[in-house]
Amino acid sequence: MQKTGTAAFLAERVMTLVQGSHPIFIVLTVAVLATLFSLFMSNVGAIVVLARLVMSMAEIGGFDPRPLALMAAVCAANSFILPTHQVNALLMSSGGYRNIDYFKAGGGMTLIFLIVVMTAFYFFYL
């Protein structure tokens, strides 16, 4: 993504939506992007893809990129809605759970996770 310029392109497009607004919206954007990416790929894969994107977003917004990259790494662990983690997938098959069960239980946990992490990062790092 860095060599082809895709990270810079996506960062510019995302920042056009939130630039000029309160910094909490940039933190929220990074948190939601990391959460969404981790729902469809492994946590490590999500942060590898997002690291350069988030750092480009921080540079465009005039922020220190290190806290936002750390925020993306922490939020990549926020995968409660779908059984994308191997432990959740193991429990799904042996416990007879369905995707809707994970969505019901994990939806609230995902929101709580986002609120706590965003609040902590906003007050301690930005």
Q: Is the dihedral of CA 4, 37, 31, 90 positive or negative?
A: negative
Virtual torsion, Cα 24, 25, 29, 31, nearest 10 deg: 20
pLDDT per residue over 43-93, tens digit each? 888 888 888 888 888 888 888 899 999 999 999 988 888 887 777 778 888
pTM for the structure as a whole:
0.82
Q: Where are the domains of the chain?
A: 6-125
Residues near 63 by Cβ (< 8 Å), separated by ≥ 6?
23, 26, 126
pLDDT for 116 equals 94
